[in-house]
Structure 1
Amino acid sequence: MKKNGFAARVLTGTMATLFVFCGLAGCGEKEVQEAPKEEITVTFMNQDTTLGTVNAVAGELLDKASYEAFEQTEDAEFNGWFETPSYLETSKKDLSVDTFEKDTTLYGDFRANSVAEDTRHWYIAGSSKKGTLALNNWAGSLSDEEKATFELVPTGNATNEFALTIDLFEGDEFQIIADWSWDTQKGFGKFTQIDESQMENAGGLAGTDDKANVKVLTDGNYTITLTTNPDNQAQDTLSIVRNSDPLTDGTENQ
């Protein structure tokens, strides 16, 4: 019994000590303090010209009033903000829903109402196991007559709009070039309209999506359309649409 009395006194003393300690320290009450939110800067550009900057909080939407004036310009149509100066479609940002976690530079795509005429000749360049691109062989040595079969010609529908309709087969790879020269190559990243169940990014030697090979996943007769701006080649865009099954089986090129 003495042992039990001693144990009781020890327990009582311990509880009293804890009571006093908890009373001072606030036992069971967790004080949650939010970490200070990081401030970031978003810089807005029109090509090489800085339009202005906006101070913001990481992870929060920008105040529209802080940047909407940057979207206004004379003699041009605003076409969105991009994280890449080449206006890579996958880098396009919708500032009504997209937020940023660090300092960011955004590039405005301003489409001039009038542009210089593009007098260059545009071609598809690529390779194939059985289609017409087998002859092309990545813009190999061809006669002018042979080159003509791979040329995107003016559509007459819009300024500097060129198009080519061609049979493409699974495994074919291609890019678009001007004047049979690789100085102006345009690949997967320049396509603003492309069905990724039919085409995929196959990479390439240049190391950027803008100059990556387009690889065909689905046989078909396709129309490739190119729109250019000689004053700002970053605004050049491509689209590809499948019209039907191939009009030929490709065996004539084997």
Structure 2
Amino acid sequence: MGPNRPKPEPVTPSDPSQRVPKQWVSFFFYELDTAFRSLSEQEQTEARAEFAAVIQKYQESGTIVVPYSTVGLRSGCDFFLWRIDYKLERLQELQVELNRTKLGKHLKAVQSFLSMSKRSTYIDKIDPEHDNVRTRIKPGRGKFIFVYPFVKSREWYLLHPMTRQGIMDEHIWVGNKYPTVKLNTTYSFGVDDQDFVVAFEGDYPEDFVELVQELRETDSSKYTVRDTPFYTGIKGTLEEVLDKL
């Protein structure tokens, strides 16, 4: 830093009323203890109903919760919840209550991704309004979802912003070729191990496979450090997802 560099202006307001609300976004992944299946049908039904009632209570007071089943799709994980709220504490309180249910005592948390909504650094020159959508996540727009953490290299962040925008122009152009795949990018800097959490939604998994393969061939791909583990989920109602356990 040079000796004559001026004092920087604050980039975040100190007045709470001037802050733009941002959503906390959490993906929480569960594996069922097989001992649960040894319970009687009535006990299992009651346990599922108790678990669902906790989630529904939070949904009715503003927390967004979308369930996805992974039974038969991936080992070590049976379902996951996409949870969104403007208050981080509510996501924690929801999990505390779920842990105390009978079903919760038979569940192991095998993975979690925490992130926040914010405006993208990059401009979508094809669809400029797309960035406005990212400031408020609206989940559940497809039957299938594909979720993974994403980490870029330090070299990427040291590139000039105009260079990064140019590289991302190609990335964005490829994405716009697949309108059936809806992208949700949220940001984890400082709150979890990854830089971003990426969630693609759609009704045609084959389109997502083609999209990812084509993105591997773009210049931005060489700056990827990690984009695993991948989780593929099938959306359902709470009852449908829990009944598959």
Higher helix share: 2
The TM-score range, normalised by the shorter chain, is: under 0.3
TM-score by length of 1: 0.21
Higher strand share: 1
Q: Tell me which structure has the larger Cα radius of gyration.
A: 1
TM-score by length of 2: 0.22
